[in-house]
């Protein structure tokens, strides 16, 4: 259980790092809405990591702060590509959370099982969110005007909390 929790600390840290790379890529590419959205996502993932660190230390399991690999920012191609990559990432995180919940339940570790239920719900929300954005490329389009529109939608979404960055404020138009 302890190893799985520590692996999850590393997964959340890697997700935070990866979303930071996406935010930076989007900012450089001129997609301010997408940039502020991913800066906020990055902060959220850091919050997830801290939640697990705090829980582990509270139960005396000793959280280990991991080394983080460099994300593949250079290979991003488009805003749609970022969202697809993010969705795949979230699906992998969901699997890991479910595995942990299984381990906790089998081992009679009901405190950890209960702790993980927040993450189970959060993953449903995260996957739905990225699936919803991906769908917009089918409904709105993939040309310059459409992607600009989607960029604005993303910018308007980041009010969800956990921003905490110096990212440019999203336009309030929407
Ligand atoms: Fe997360
Ligand atoms: Fe996430």
Task: Identify the structural domains of the chain with CATH numbers, from first to last.
Answer: 2-65+76-160 (1.20.1260.10)
Q: Which ligand is nearest to the CA of 48?
A: 1
For 24-40, what is the mean pLDDT?
97
Average confidence score pLDDT of the chain: 92
Separation CA 41–CA 35 (nearest Å): 10
Q: What is residue 49's predicted lDDT score, i.e. its pLDDT? A: 98
Rg of the chain (C-alpha set):
17
What are the Cα distances from residue 15, in Å, to 39, 90, 145? 12, 8, 29
Q: Give the distance (Å) from ligand 1 centre to CA of residue 82.
A: 16
Q: Which ligand is nearest to the CA of 97?
A: 1
Separation CA 154–CA 95 (nearest Å): 26
For 19-46, what is the mean pLDDT?
97
Q: Is the pLDDT of residue 99 over 50?
A: yes
Q: Give the distance (Å) from ligand 1 centre to CA of residue 15.
A: 7
Q: Give the distance (Å) from ligand 1 centre to CA of residue 31.
A: 23
Q: Give the distance (Å) from ligand 1 centre to CA of residue 143.
A: 31
Q: Give the distance (Å) from ligand 1 centre to CA of residue 110.
A: 21
Report angle CA 54, 59, 63 to the nearest 5 degrees.
50
Q: Give the distance (Å) from ligand 2 centre to CA of residue 28.
A: 23
How confident is the model over 114-166, as pLDDT tens digits?
Answer: 999 999 999 999 999 999 999 999 999 999 999 999 999 999 997 544 444 44
Q: Give the distance (Å) from ligand 2 centre to CA of residue 87.
A: 9
Q: Which ligand is nearest to the CA of 119?
A: 1
User: What one-character DSSP code corresponds to residue 73?
Assistant: G
Q: Give the distance (Å) from ligand 2 centre to CA of residue 4.
A: 17
How confident is the model over 47-65, as pLDDT tens digits?
Answer: 999 999 999 999 999 999 9
- Which has the minimum average pLDDT: 3-12, 16-25, 64-73? 64-73
Q: What is residue 162's predicted lDDT score, i.e. its pLDDT? A: 41
Separation CA 37–CA 146 (nearest Å): 17
Q: Which ligand is nearest to the CA of 13?
A: 1
């Amino acid at each position: 259980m302890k190893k799985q929790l520590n692996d999850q600390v590393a997964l959340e840290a890697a997700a935070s790092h990866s979303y930071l790379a996406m935010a930076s890529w989007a900012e450089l590419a001129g997609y301010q809405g997408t940039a502020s959205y991913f800066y906020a996502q990055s902060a959220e993932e850091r919050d997830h990591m801290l939640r697990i660190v705090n829980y582990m230390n509270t139960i005396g399991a000793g959280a280990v702060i991991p080394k983080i690999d460099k994300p593949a920012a250079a290979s991003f191609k488009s805003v749609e590509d970022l969202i697809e990559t993010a969705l795949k990432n979230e699906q992998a995180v969901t699997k890991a959370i479910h595995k942990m919940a299984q381990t906790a339940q089998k081992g009679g570790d009901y405190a950890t099982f209960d702790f993980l239920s927040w993450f189970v719900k959060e993953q449903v929300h995260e996957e739905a969110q990225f699936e919803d954005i991906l769908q917009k490329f089918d409904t709105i389009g993939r040309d310059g005007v459409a992607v600009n529109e989607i960029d604005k939608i993303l910018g308007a979404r980041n009010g969800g909390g956990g921003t905490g960055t110096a990212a440019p404020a999203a336009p309030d138009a929407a």
